[in-house]
Structure 1
Amino acid sequence: MYTKQLLQSQLEKLGIHKQGTLLVHSSFKSIGEVDGGPDTVLDSLSEYMKDGLLVLPTHTWSYIDGKNPIFSVEDSPTCVGILTERFRKRKGVVRSWHPTHSVAAIGKDATAFTSGDEKFDTPCARGSAWGKLLDRQAQIMLVGVDLRRNTFMHGVEEWLDIPGRLTDTHESLYTVLPDGRKLSVPSRRHYGLSWSEHFWKVEDYFLQLEAMYIGTFGDAEVRVCDTVKMTEILTEMLTIDPELFSDNEPLSEKFKQEFEAMLSR
């Protein structure tokens, strides 16, 4: 059974920067048996990052849409796991106001980090929390999940304006603030195909080029990603082939040759 102290020692071994910014995507079940359950996991992360910033996604994209357009910052549950739902309700945690792709944070600059997402009409705008992860050279920890759950990669595609990723039209969505005010947040959506299901294709290069490494947290296999290096690699890859993630096939030999030639320049 894992204790808070054991989990924190694993965070140390993983090379998580205590004074940095850490975003965690997670599968609680993958961690194994924890003394105290989800709250112990959150305690271990929050205390380890007490001099930095801890961020978890609190997405609601699975059910906030044109037919159900009201997102409540205080009351709308997350659709991305038990740890995220428990985290958003914790004392001192601040949640952003984006109706479908909110995040919650605690620690250094949490209010500034989560502010302003409702001003953008896309899920992962460069000026939103997702872009701030890059500005802060954040680490992303994928606990028991793989690159297919790495929302940051959607952000890179969005910043590069990759065709076909977002709807041209807006849905009329609304955010209800803790004080009861209701904001109109017209929003474009991720379009059609679930592009993220194909993000696995670049894992080998992420590992080879040290944008990611693999370790453990509890029983879970963990991928620790560097936002700066990921962005650099994905920018080069998507310059070569904007349709890189349009299918579920491995990278072609032609693509590998072009990419490796680009790296050698």
Structure 2
Amino acid sequence: MVAHNGKQKIWAMLEACRIRPNSCLLVHSAFRRFSRAGFAVDDVLEALTDYMSAGTLLLPTMSWRYTNQKNPFFHEISTPSNTGILSEGFRQNLAERRSLHPTHSVAGIGRDLDYFLGEHHLDRTPCGARSPFKRLIDADGQILMMGIGMDCCTLLHQAEEEVAIDVYLKGESEAVEYTSTDRNNVDHKVTVRHHYLMKRNYWQYQDRLHYGGQLRSVRCGAPICNGFDARDLSALAIESLRADKFAVLGCDGDRYRMM
């Protein structure tokens, strides 16, 4: 049965995706297909944390469904995430720290958590220079998409913010003020410019990584996992946006997602 050797299968998938155990890994996930294939959440999380025990493991714990303009309060410990059962299990049971960004937080375990997570709330945008997403690039980290498409890869927002912030983010006059409370119950005032809801075609970058030999795709039972270096994706996105600031937007006939 898969449940019996699920951890070994996840470990083998990580190796096949050439994930470096001593690096920083950001994992995006959708667990439904893993569950149907017999994988257990606890086994998958244990495999991920064991594999990355010499490095840093990050999972997104975004909470924009719970923390928003109508409810501008975030707590590092008690605010749930809306990024899936794997991220929520990690947040509740394994994470040693969670960034204090009220809508786009990231949780982590391992080395250098202060560097990756400690200043996220100081940026006025979700994916700014002090966010885990930018620091993942700077640290030569990696990304793993587990059973989920490139449309869920938050790192691409970082490229939007770096190259064409006024195209993709609302202006300062529409910024929202939040109160983020850390695990010691200290309040932090956070002001955030939010992304516009737009037709974004992020799948194009999965194709470009594939054609460039920079994407490692591995079937883990039924689900497909894609691993790649954060710098490779960032470079492709920034190059395309510098050539055309509307490059990430879907055109007629493109596959896109409103986000």
TM-score by length of 2: 0.90
1:58-73 matches, within 5 Å, as 58-73=61-76
Q: Runs of 5+ in structure 1 lacking a partner? A: 252-265
State whether residues 16 and 216 of structure 2, in contact with CA within 8 Å, keep that contact through their aligned partners in structure 1.
no
Residues 144-197 of structure 1 show CA distances to partners (whole Å, capped at 9, x for unaligned) of 1111000001111111134321111211111012222221101111113253xx
Residues 102-133 of structure 1 show CA distances to partners (whole Å, capped at 9, x for unaligned) of 10111111233210111111000022111110
Query: Is 2:178 the partner of 1:173?
Result: yes
SS in 2 for 1:185: strand
Report the AA paired with residue 236 of structure 1.
Answer: E
State whether residues 146 and 200 of structure 1, in contact with CA within 8 Å, keep that contact through their aligned partners in structure 2.
yes
Write the distance in 1 (CA, Å) between the matches of 2:46 and 2:38.
12
Write the distance in 1 (CA, Å) between the matches of 2:231 and 2:175.
30
Write the distance in 2 (CA, Å) between the matches of 1:106 and 1:232.
27
Check 1:186–1:92 CA distance in 2 against 1; reply closer, same or farther (3 A cut).
closer
Query: Is 2:164 the partner of 1:152?
Result: no
Write the distance in 2 (CA, Å) between the matches of 1:17 and 1:249.
39
94, 98, 101: which one pairs with 2:101?
98
SS in 2 for 1:239: helix
Q: Runs of 5+ in structure 2 lacking a partner? A: 255-259
**Corresponding residue number in structure 2 for 1:33:** 37
State whether residues 113 and 129 of structure 1, in contact with CA within 8 Å, keep that contact through their aligned partners in structure 2.
yes
**Corresponding residue number in structure 1 for 2:257:** none
Q: CA RMSD in A?
A: 1.7
Larger mean Cα displacement after TM superposition, 240-249 or 110-119: 240-249
Instruction: Figure out how many residues of one structure are paired with residues of the other and give that number.
Output: 248
Write the distance in 1 (CA, Å) between the matches of 2:210 and 2:230.
13
State whether residues 95 and 107 of structure 2, in contact with CA within 8 Å, keep that contact through their aligned partners in structure 1.
no
Query: Is 2:197 the partner of 1:185?
Result: no
Identity, in percent, stands at 30
State whether residues 34 and 40 of structure 1, in contact with CA within 8 Å, keep that contact through their aligned partners in structure 2.
no
138, 143, 148: which one pairs with 1:135?
138
TM-score by length of 1: 0.88
